[in-house]
Amino acid sequence: MTEKEEQVNNMLQEIMNDIKKKLPEGMGFTLLAYEFGDKKDRRMLYASNSKREDVIMAMLEFVDKNLNSPEIYGKDV
């Protein structure tokens, strides 16, 4: 992990702990961080309070709903 990625990872952990305190019990979340653009070696970093398989299922649902029904599935924040 590069120094920049370590810094981002530490920030994600701090943000994640703050989110955990504010969300009601039983709510899962995932926080993604990635560099813009199409760099060959870019990496996505994430922090979550969920199991990896639950995150994957939530991401697949998000992608499916946005690709198939973008007009009814929420707005960019």
Flag whether the pTM goes above 0.75.
no
Q: Which of 47, 52, 46, 49 is nearest to 24 (CA)?
A: 49
Instruction: Please answer whether residues 58 and 74 qualify as being in contact, where contact means their C-beta atoms are separated by less than 8 angstroms.
Output: no
13 belongs to a structural domain: yes
The answer to the question of residue 75 being in a domain is no
With respect to residue 77, please indicate whether it lies within any of the assigned structural domains.
no
Domain assignment present for residue 73? The answer is no
Residue 29 within a domain:
yes
Of 39, 14, 28, nearest to 61 by C-alpha is 28
Q: Which domain holds residue 44?
A: 3-68
> What is the per-residue pLDDT across 18-54, written as a single tens digit (0 to 9) for each?
999 999 999 999 999 998 988 888 889 999 999 999 9
For the chain, how many structural domains are there in total?
1
pLDDT digits (tens, 9 = 90+) for 51-64: 999 999 999 998 88
Is residue 37 domain-resident?
A: yes
76: in domain: no
Helix (H, G, I), strand (E, B) or coil at 4: helix
